[in-house]
């Protein structure tokens, strides 16, 4: 039985997420999620995406929608939950790769560390670390869950990367390699 990876492209529907420097978060998240899903499927994993288009599955109520993302992963029996997001800050100088888990010290953090090693090694992003956060998708999913923040769209340099299809492909490849370092297909 192949490992089942649920990929949640953050935002979508009525919620574009963060916007700045010509970058729209929901679009970056969706593109990286789709690319990641393709790479993982090719490697032999079972993959489910919450949304494969801007609006697919997204509920108009934000809280209900977040709950729906975790429910879908739970109902499917996912082994791992990966949520893809793009960061924003009031400070344009903020940069780097950051991840969140519901609880430190468990398997989610170990997976996040594997992803961080690949991501920062390949893309040259600074590693801001893995942090505990009480996010709905992390709290309500029954399997190890990691929320990835690819980089800061509020930083002009990182915004150029986030708008680059080639960079997004490399980002998806790095996340896939981090998953592969943690769990075989």
Catalytic residue numbers, as ranges: 149
Q: How many residues bind Zn ion (CB under 5 A)?
A: 3
35 binds Zn ion (CB under 5 A): no
In whole angstroms, the minimum distance from the beta carbon of 17 to Zn ion comes to 4
In whole angstroms, the minimum distance from the beta carbon of 10 to Zn ion comes to 4
H/E element, 99: strand 97-101
Q: Of 68-87, which residues contact Zn ion (CB under 5 A)?
A: 85
Q: How far is CA 40 from CA 7, 28, 111, in A?
A: 10, 18, 15
Query: Which of 17, 20, 144, 178 is the binder for Zn ion (CB under 5 A)?
Result: 17
Q: How far apart are the first and last CA of the chain?
A: 8
12 binds Zn ion (CB under 5 A): no
In whole angstroms, the minimum distance from the beta carbon of 2 to Zn ion comes to 28
Residue with tokens 């990966």: 82
Q: DSSP string covering 151-182, please?
A: EETTSHHHHHHHT-HHHHHHHHHHHHHHHHHH
34 binds Zn ion (CB under 5 A): no
Beta carbon nearer to Zn ion, 79 or 163: 163
Residue 82 structure tokens:
């990966």
Beta carbon nearer to Zn ion, 35 or 85: 85
| Cα 185 from Cα 41, distance rounded (Å) | 9
51 binds Zn ion (CB under 5 A): no
Residue ranges binding Zn ion (CB under 5 A)? 10, 17, 85
């Amino acid at each position: 039985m192949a490992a089942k990876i649920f990929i949640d492209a953050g935002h979508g529907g009525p919620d574009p997420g963060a916007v700045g420097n010509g970058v729209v978060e929901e679009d970056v998240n969706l593109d990286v999620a789709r690319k990641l899903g393709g790479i993982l499927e090719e490697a032999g994993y079972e993959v489910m995406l919450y949304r494969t288009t801007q609006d697919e599955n997204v509920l108009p109520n934000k809280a209900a929608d977040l709950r729906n993302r975790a429910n879908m992963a739970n109902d499917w029996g996912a082994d791992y939950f990966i949520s893809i997001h793009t960061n924003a800050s009031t400070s344009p100088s903020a940069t780097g790769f950051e991840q969140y888990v519901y609880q430190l010290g468990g398997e989610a953090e170990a997976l996040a560390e594997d992803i961080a090693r690949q991501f920062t090694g390949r893309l040259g992003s600074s590693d801001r670390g893995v942090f505990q956060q009480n996010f709905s998708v992390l709290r309500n999913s029954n399997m190890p869950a990691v929320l990835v923040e690819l980089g800061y769209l509020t930083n002009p340099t990182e915004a150029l990367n986030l708008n680059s299809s080639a960079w997004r492909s490399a980002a998806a490849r790095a996340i896939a390699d981090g998953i592969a370092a943690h769990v075989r297909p």
